[in-house]
Amino acid sequence: MKVSLDVDIGGTFTDLFLSYDGKTIFTKTPTTGYNLSVGFMRAVKDAAGMLGITVKELLTSTEVVRYSTTIAMNTLLQRTGPRLALITTEGFEDIVPIGKGASWSDQLTFREIRNLARIQKPEPIISREMTIGVKERVNSRGEIIRPLDEEDFLKKLQYLVDRGARGFVVSLLFSYANPAHEKRIAEIIRREYPDVYLGAMPVVLSSAVTPKQNEYTRTVTTILNAYLHYSMWEQISGTGDELRNAGYEKTIMMVHNSGGMAEVFRTAAIQTFNGGPVAGLIGGANVGKILGYDNIVVSDMGGTSFDLGLVVAGSSRFYQYHPLIDRWWVDMTVLETRSIGAGGGSIAWLNPVMGNRLEVGPQGAGSMPGPASYNLGGTDPTVTDADIVLGYINPDYYHGGKMKLERGKAVSSIRDKIARPLGVTVEEAALLIKKIVDANMGDTIAKETFLRGFKPADFILFAFGGAGPTHCCAYGPYAGINKIAVFPFSPVFCAFGSCTMDILHLYEQSLRLPLLAPVSLKTFEDYDVFNNTVKSLQERAIKDITNEGFALESIKFGLEIEAKYGGQLNILRFMSPVLFINSPEDVQAVYRAFEEEYCRVYSRISAYPQGGVDMLNMILRATVYHPKPRLPEYPRAGDTPDAEAMKGKRDAYWVEYGEFRQTEVYDARALKHGNGIEGPAVIEAEDTTIVLPPPMKLTVDKYHNFILEKI
């Protein structure tokens, strides 16, 4: 038996998807925030139990473990990283505190921005006290115009160590053009203070993390990577030790937010940020190809957040090249997703500033203490509590009966904190909670599609996450989407998504090369600078990927270029049609690719070839394609579910009727290909519940997916 394990650790639940011999199983366990490896191994133990074997037997048969995690997010939100020091060029010590003009408002809500008396720039992760400037200077061409003053640096280094530095970030001016001074500083630190970095916290160089121009984003990216490194190393090494002790002898593959994965030892901490939602987006695109859907809104409503992404024309093609992480602009390539605080554990609360207006999220109850109905000490009402009161979730069958919820706790929390202050019944308060969270999610989908020039009605909605199927028939139609797909593995879809990802490494290098001269429009003729840059990136890629155990011939290369018209500020990334330039025809092909992409993004009227075109950055994509899983097909049965599929009836509230009604409840496992159910109905799976309102119909397709459409 050959096994692959895919694990996604979210804020509330740890999801595991296991495939073996063409079959699959999955499970969910509560996330253990105090030590993520505990929840990880509980999920592995559950999976072994489902197969009737021991954990050791399972792990010795496992070919690969793929892993996505929220470690990075938690470390940033809680500011639990180590005390770092920043070493930069003398005179540039304030580049991070000064920030950008938009730093005052980045990542804040409109309501927060309007409160001018309270908004502030983000607090620097490395304080000014822990920042030093060293005497050195390299110009933009990489020429050393002032050698590094090592004696001066040693004095300042001692100052940082005396103030408790637990790691060092080195970001010097123009180090992307010549990293010699950064490398020398690293050598000195390791020689003088080896204990500072051993095992967990190396000296982090900006020329190694992101060798690109723009000092602010390069420095911030390097700082965040160093800040997240320790917690990631601590948690991953702990999980790795647990796996090795239990019999797993191979490497762990980490999901990257660029849309691929790589060995844990070749993963920068910042590359894991938001990895789970990206895995879900890639998985959605691959499932869409199997099912024949080109335009998809991929939505994940979990316990803590609601994440979504777009697949257009069969591709998850929207990237962010300078995304905001926390409140910091960084320089890295990530697949674009949107996230809001709307999940099963989102807390409903009354906002006193807004006249006791009811709001839901973004705060969440997590897995401990969790919603009030968990009966683990939590008293705040959540979306899950509202779903119980409305009859959608069976408190005795939560996670297939593995967790028993207390309906009385849900009722009392909503009554005491929402219903009484608002002067409404508990049921009315629960309905308000549901309507607000559904509207928040639907509005996010509508904005994401409309602002990109698409109509939501042209998309199908993929609904996953533990709470997604419960709410999708509300937030989907709210956004204008009329067709929805729910999958047997929807509760762990992001974990499934990682098994559809390829090995992907990105290598970047800044250079300034004129593609097209201004006025004369003459193309450049010195191909060596271009080709040598590509070759150096290619050599790094080959070394890394072959060391991961992949054959040289399995690596596929693609080249992206960042360029702009002379005199313009907007930098555009486009795919180069050639890897190397060997003729004037190759140069013209690169220019045409730039022009076509520019006109597509900004319109033809904005093009300005008379100003010339400058190439600024080169990005080499090195990919090893991974076989994609196949979905098992099932024979067609009748249009009507078998009698044993009916579990019974219970009262559930339906907005369409404005009242509670006795509602048929079905067992999702007993439904077969071709079966159809008309709403109102509730379909219970082990780890999620599909709420089917009128006038919608559910049909089971040949892959045992549930297709929901308006009648």
Task: Report CA dihedral (398, 399, 404, 405) to the nearest 10 degrees.
Answer: -40
Return d(Cα 336, Cα 349) in angstroms, integer. 30
The dihedral through the CA atoms of 9, 273, 113, 104 has a sign that is positive
Reference 501, options 323, 674, 655, 623; nearest CA is 623
pLDDT at 199 exceeding the cut of 60: no
Instruction: Please state the rounded mean pLDDT for residues 107-121.
Output: 72
Cβ neighbours of residue 586 closer than 8 Å, sequence gap 6 or more: 578, 580
Per-residue pLDDT tens digits for 648-695? 999 999 999 999 999 999 999 999 999 999 989 999 998 899 999 998
Cβ neighbours of residue 419 closer than 8 Å, sequence gap 6 or more: 425, 426, 428, 429
Tokens 């009392």 label which residue? 412
Return d(Cα 65, Cα 255) in angstroms, integer. 11
Question: What pLDDT score was predicted for residue 520?
Answer: 82
pLDDT at 198 exceeding the cut of 60: no
Q: How confident is the model at residue 539 (pLDDT cuts 50, 70, 90)?
A: very high
Question: What pLDDT score was predicted for residue 361?
Answer: 84
In a domain, 595, yes or no: yes
Return d(Cα 46, Cα 51) in angstroms, integer. 9
Co-location of 124 and 148 in the same domain? yes
Q: Report which listed range, 23-32, 75-84, 354-363, 441-450, is most confident.
A: 441-450
Reduced to 3 states, what is the DSSP secondary structure of residue 336?
coil
pLDDT at 99 exceeding the cut of 70: yes
Reduced to 3 states, what is the DSSP secondary structure of residue 442?
helix
Angle between helices 407-414 and 426-450 (to 10 degrees): 80
Co-location of 600 and 655 in the same domain? no
Reference 355, options 422, 414, 402, 288; nearest CA is 422
Per-residue pLDDT tens digits for 130-150? 999 999 999 998 999 999 999
In a domain, 52, yes or no: yes
| H-only helix segments in 7-149 | 36-51, 55-60, 71-78, 95-98, 110-114
Co-location of 596 and 507 in the same domain? yes
Question: What pLDDT score was predicted for residue 52?
Answer: 92
Domain C-terminal end among 253, 272, 291: 272
Co-location of 93 and 190 in the same domain? yes
Cis, peptide link before residue 680, omega less than 30° from 0? yes
Co-location of 618 and 656 in the same domain? no
- The range of the structural domain enclosing residue 413 comes to 367-430
Contact 348, 414 (CB under 8 A): yes
% of the chain surpassing 90 pLDDT: 61
Contact 72, 270 (CB under 8 A): yes
In a domain, 498, yes or no: no
Instruction: Please state the rounded mean pLDDT for residues 166-195.
Output: 91
**What are the angstrom distances between the C-alpha of 130 and each of 85, 156, 205?**
5, 10, 16
Instruction: Please state the rounded mean pLDDT for residues 520-541.
Output: 91
Co-location of 515 and 545 in the same domain? yes
572 beta partners: 563
CATH number at residue 69: 3.30.420.40
Co-location of 581 and 558 in the same domain? yes
Co-location of 103 and 165 in the same domain? yes
Contact 137, 150 (CB under 8 A): no
Domain C-terminal end among 430, 457, 484: 430
Co-location of 592 and 655 in the same domain? no
Question: What pLDDT score was predicted for residue 78?
Answer: 67
pLDDT at 349 exceeding the cut of 70: yes
Q: How confident is the model at residue 290 (pLDDT cuts 50, 70, 90)?
A: very high
Question: What pLDDT score was predicted for residue 201?
Answer: 54
**What are the angstrom distances between the C-alpha of 707 and each of 486, 674, 676, 697?**
7, 11, 9, 8
The two counts, helices (H) then strands (E), for the chain are: 18, 34
Co-location of 255 and 177 in the same domain? no
In a domain, 630, yes or no: no
- Among the residue ranges 128-137, 189-198, 226-235, 524-533, the one predicted with the least confidence is 189-198
Q: What is the mean pLDDT of the chain?
A: 90
Co-location of 552 and 597 in the same domain? yes
Question: What pLDDT score was predicted for residue 679?
Answer: 85
Q: How confident is the model at residue 200 (pLDDT cuts 50, 70, 90)?
A: very low
Reference 172, options 89, 57, 278; nearest CA is 89
User: Which pair of tokens denotes residue 57?
Assistant: 């037997």
Domain C-terminal end among 272, 297, 321: 272
CATH number at residue 584: 3.30.1490
Q: Which residues of 620-651 are buried (b: 16+ CB within 10 A; e: fewer)?
A: bbbbbebeebebeeeeeeeeebeeebebeeee
Please state the pTM of the whole predicted model. 0.89
In a domain, 361, yes or no: no
Question: What pLDDT score was predicted for residue 548?
Answer: 84
- Residue 209 has phi, psi (to 5 degrees) of -80, -50
% of the chain surpassing 70 pLDDT: 97
Question: What pLDDT score was predicted for residue 575?
Answer: 93
Contact 339, 305 (CB under 8 A): yes
Return d(Cα 511, Cα 140) in angstroms, integer. 10
In a domain, 148, yes or no: yes
- Among the residue ranges 271-275, 422-426, 519-523, the one predicted with the least confidence is 519-523
User: Which pair of tokens denotes residue 582?
Assistant: 């060997």
Number of domains in the chain: 5
pLDDT at 77 exceeding the cut of 70: no
pLDDT at 317 exceeding the cut of 80: no
In a domain, 156, yes or no: yes
H/E stretch holding 158: helix 150-162
Burial of 83 (0-12, 13-18, 19+ CB in 10 A): middle
Q: How confident is the model at residue 120 (pLDDT cuts 50, 70, 90)?
A: confident
Co-location of 177 and 88 in the same domain? yes
In a domain, 631, yes or no: no
Return d(Cα 7, Cα 595) in angstroms, integer. 42
